[in-house]
Amino acid sequence: MQVEIVSTVGSKSIGTIRNLSDSSTVRDIKEGIHQLKKSLYPDRQSIRLDAKGRSLSDEDTLQKLGVKNGATLYLKDLGPQIGWSTVFLAEYAGPLVIYLTFYTRPWIFYGNAGGTTHQIHTTVHIAAACWSAHYSKRLLETIFVHRFSHSTMPLFNLFKNCTYYWLFAAYVAYHVNHPLFTSPSAIQVYASLGAFIASELGNLSVHLALRNLRPPGTKKRSIPVATANPFTYLFNLVSCPNYTYEFAAWASFTMLTQCLPAGLFALAGFYQMAVWAVGKHRNYKKEFPNYPKNRKAIIPFIL
Q: What is the pLDDT of residue 118?
A: 65
* H/E element, 277: helix 260-287
State whether residue 26 is helix, strand or coil: helix
Average pLDDT, the chain: 92
pLDDT, average across residues 61-74: 90
Domains of the chain, first to last: 3-79 (3.10.20.90), 82-287 (no CATH)
CA-CA-CA-CA torsion for 214, 205, 240, 260, nearest 10 degrees?
-140
Q: Are 62 and 22 in contact (CB under 8 A)?
A: yes
State whether residue 105 is helix, strand or coil: coil
* H/E element, 86: helix 84-104
**pLDDT digit string, tens, across residues 106-115:** 999 988 765 5
**pLDDT digit string, tens, across residues 221-252:** 789 999 999 999 999 999 999 999 999 999 99
* CA atoms of 282 and 116, how far apart (whole Å): 53
Q: Are 246 and 269 in contact (CB under 8 A)?
A: yes
* Of residues 88, 52, 69, the one with CA closest to residue 17: 69
Q: pTM for the full model?
A: 0.86
* CA atoms of 150 and 78, how far apart (whole Å): 13
Q: What is the pLDDT of residue 221?
A: 79
**pLDDT digit string, tens, across residues 249-270:** 999 999 999 999 999 999 999 9
* CA atoms of 14 and 30, how far apart (whole Å): 12
